[in-house]
């Protein structure tokens, strides 16, 4: 009998909430997360309904490198922010296309300025 795979929460900085979000996204083990890498995995989290949050993203990046979540500073943090923004914007663009909304409608909907359309 083979041993059960290591859970996502066995990765530094990632706890039960991230593990549950990963499971909703179809990521069921630490090895699967490592194989995907942080960018693809975070895109999957967003696609499965997780609200994007920069700290959550860089905590994942740091954890996959075996580093504490708060070990990200300076130019490295700036570069990670650019990667995060790209992932988030790509996910929102895809979401907008799938729902048939313009980017402006999606942005206004996000901040609650326009009512949600029925069936969306």
- List, for residues 93-111, the tens digit of each pLDDT value: 665 555 556 556 666 666 6
d(CA 81, CA 54): 7
Is-contact 4 30, C-beta < 8 A?
no
Give the ranges where the chain is alpha helix by DSSP (H). Answer: 16-24, 30-36, 38-47, 54-64, 74-99, 103-110
Supply the pTM of this predicted model: 0.76
- Judged against a pLDDT cut of 90, whether residue 65 lies above it is answered with yes
Is-contact 37 85, C-beta < 8 A?
no
Q: What is the DSSP letter of 5?
A: P
- Give one word for 28, left, alpha or beta, with left for phi > 0 and alpha for psi -120 to 50: alpha
- Judged against a pLDDT cut of 60, whether residue 5 lies above it is answered with yes
Domain boundaries, the chain: 8-110
Considering the domain 8-110 in this protein, what is its CATH number? 1.10.150.20
| pLDDT tens per residue, range 28-60 | 999 999 999 999 999 999 988 899 999 999 999
Q: How confident is the model at residue 6 (pLDDT cuts 50, 70, 90)?
A: very high
């Amino acid at each position: 009998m083979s041993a059960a795979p290591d859970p996502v929460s066995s990765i530094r900085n990632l706890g039960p909430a991230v593990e549950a979000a990963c499971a909703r996204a179809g990521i069921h083990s630490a090895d699967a997360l490592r194989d995907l890498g942080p960018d693809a995995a975070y895109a999957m989290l967003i696609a499965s309904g997780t609200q994007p949050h920069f700290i959550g993203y860089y905590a994942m990046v740091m954890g996959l490198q075996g580093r504490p979540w708060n070990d990200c500073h300076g130019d490295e943090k700036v570069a990670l922010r650019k990667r995060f923004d790209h992932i988030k914007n790509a996910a929102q663009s895809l979401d907008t296309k799938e729902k048939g909304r313009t980017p402006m409608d999606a942005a206004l909907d996000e901040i609650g300025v326009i009512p949600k359309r029925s069936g969306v």
